[in-house]
Amino acid sequence: MALPVVRPDWLTQEVMHGPLQNEQHVFLSTKPASRADGRNALAALLVSAVIFLAAAPFAGTLLVQVPAFAPTYMSVLVICELLTSVLLYGQFRFLRSRALLVLAGGYLFTACITVAQALVFPGLFSPSGLLDAGTQSAAWLFVFGHGGFPAAVIAYARLEDHGLVAIASGGRPRAYTRFAIPYSIAAILAIVCALTLLVTAGQEFLPVIIQGNRIAVIGRIVRSSAWVLTALALYLLWRRWPRTVIDLWLMVVMCVWLMDITLAGLLNTGRFDLGWYAARVYDVLAASTLLIVLLIENGKHYARLAQLSAELRAANVALEQLSMHDGLTGLANRRCFDKYIASQIAVARRYERPLALVMCDVDAFKAYNDHYGHQAGDECLKQVAAALRSRCRRPADMAARYGGEEFVLVLPDTDLGGAAQIAEAARDAIWQLRIVHAHSPAAPYLSISGGVAVLLRNVDMTAQQLIADADRSLYQAKQLGRNRMVCAQAEPAYQHA
């Protein structure tokens, strides 16, 4: 069995320069924003801006009330924000960054506040909304939602353990993440419940910000505060450095929110006009922007993991090959030989087949090394190995380097006579190389001596005993003058079933 030579150079390069080198940048929150990321974000922002500029002059134009629009957009909004929150919580579990925890909570807050808004929205589940809602309940929840999320982004931007800092410092203790997520979710649900209670049971304490379907003056002032918070969040994100991919896309989200609030709180006149409908579309865009980027990045990471898994499997195969090869000659090494001879003895015993072993040794190799140098000696061993490999004609035959200048041939399903012929052919192949060896006591050219042994049928013979028999025959060949093959005493021929 001739094994191919495997060089480890490529394996070292893959480990040093492959995907494992960049494991610290596998998350958007830790990956530095590249120029390509900047171009993509700018393109998305420009498209949103063009739509905004086209819609702004007609924001107050009253349109037909579409009953299915509100529940549809709210459902999409909740799904997008919940998915984004889950993905961000997942990154927090690994990085243990308070900034990510706050941002994930911000998305969860907007999802929950949208659910509450759907429950109290007039005409959605009941003419005046559920939970004893009043005419101001849904409008105030809209304000709270559009003010709460920018506040979360501001907190995210102000916290220091973000992005590259989080991965460099290792984040907070791992036990912290076990309690932080459930506490965060519980706190957000409590805040949303409190705000919902305020806009329903305590609605008389709140100013009137919408009259019928039209926005009151105080409503525009209140919504302007959400616009200011969003602008502040955008400014803080812009100042943040080093800027990660998630920072870049959050800036896009904040820009879309500014357009959203401008259309639905500053330029339009009330519900169901063009500005109101367009603002709801911007709500969905803002909620889905980061989600889309996260999902695309997750897909890329999955592809990288699949590629890395394939590379690791190939590396394992290569390492296994390396562990079974002699680095100089490319033949099977001693470890591989020991495993192979043991398995072949088991097969020979099970199926009552012959098994032969040829052990050979380069004659006067020390003298060759001393006279011609070690580099010439290495080249000599390579040529000997190639010649011995050429004698292994069947797939099951194996040539191996036993150690130093010693080699072995494992010949399954071969009796003593057949093994002797192969051994003599191997000796002749070495002789035909005509490698000059002026200091050999056996011949003017490089030669080998060998011993042939077979597995005895009627004896519980181990691999060590078979090797010992071949070694004794090799010793006899040396004693008889070298450059020859000596066979152990033959046993009766095998009877094939």
Say if residue 301 is in the same domain as residue 402: no
405 is catalytic: yes
Residue 379 lies in a domain: yes
Backbone angles phi, psi at 325, to 5 degrees: -115, 150
- List the one residue out of 457, 445, 448 whose CA is nearest residue 490: 457
446 lies in which domain range?
Answer: 334-487
Say if residue 372 is in the same domain as residue 228: no
Residue 320 lies in a domain: no
Helices (H) and strands (E) in the chain, counts: 15, 7
> Can you give the pLDDT at residue 22?
46
Residue 354 lies in a domain: yes
Catalytic entry in 23, 405, 406, 424: 405
Residue 369's domain is classified under what CATH number? 3.30.70.270
Domain C-terminal end among 311, 344, 359: 311
> Can you give the pLDDT at residue 183?
94
Say if residue 161 is in the same domain as residue 265: yes
> Looking up tokens 């005509």, which residue turns up?
434
Say if residue 167 is in the same domain as residue 269: yes
- List the one residue out of 118, 123, 114, 88 whose CA is nearest residue 103: 88
**Encoded tokens for 305:** 């993991």
Residue 327 lies in a domain: no
Say if residue 129 is in the same domain as residue 29: yes
Cα 191 from chain centre = 38
Distance CA 412, CA 394 (A): 9
Find the helix or strand (DSSP H, E) in which 303 lies: helix 274-323
Q: Determine the longest span between alpha carbons in the chain, in angstroms.
A: 117
- List the one residue out of 249, 278, 308, 320 whose CA is nearest residue 107: 249
Complete edge-to-edge strand list for the sheet that includes strand 355-362? 398-403, 406-412, 355-362, 448-454, 485-487
- List the one residue out of 243, 280, 4 whose CA is nearest residue 121: 280
Say if residue 167 is in the same domain as residue 275: yes
Say if residue 45 is in the same domain as residue 184: yes
85 three-state secondary structure: helix
> Can you give the pLDDT at residue 1?
53
Residue 319 lies in a domain: no
Say if residue 167 is in the same domain as residue 76: yes
> Can you give the pLDDT at residue 100?
92
**Encoded tokens for 381:** 């061993």
Q: Beta strand pairing status for 448-454 and 485-487?
A: parallel
Say if residue 243 is in the same domain as residue 135: yes
> Can you give the pLDDT at residue 205?
85
Burial of 170 (0-12, 13-18, 19+ CB in 10 A): exposed
Say if residue 389 is in the same domain as residue 306: no
Say if residue 172 is in the same domain as residue 73: yes
Residue 323 lies in a domain: no
Q: Which amino acid is at 114?
A: T
Residues paired with 400 in a beta bridge? 332, 408
Residue 497 lies in a domain: no
Distance CA 453, CA 491 (A): 10
User: Based on the structure, what is the number of domains in the chain?
Assistant: 2
Say if residue 263 is in the same domain as residue 359: no
> Looking up tokens 């549809």, which residue turns up?
72
Domain C-terminal end among 270, 296, 311: 311
Domain C-terminal end among 311, 345, 364: 311
Could you read off the pLDDT tens digit of each residue along the chain, which spans 497 residues? 544 444 444 344 443 344 434 444 567 778 888 899 899 999 999 999 999 999 889 988 888 888 888 889 899 999 999 999 999 999 888 888 889 999 999 999 999 999 999 998 888 888 878 888 888 888 899 889 989 999 999 999 998 665 444 444 455 556 667 789 999 999 999 999 999 999 998 888 888 888 877 888 888 888 889 899 999 999 999 998 888 889 999 999 999 989 988 888 788 887 788 888 888 888 888 889 889 988 988 888 888 888 988 989 988 888 887 888 888 998 999 999 999 999 999 999 988 899 999 999 999 999 999 999 999 999 999 999 999 999 998 999 999 999 999 999 999 999 999 999 999 999 999 999 999 998 888 889 999 999 999 998 777 889 999 999 999 999 999 999 999 999 976 544 443 33
**DSSP 8-state code for residue 22:** G
Residue 316 lies in a domain: no
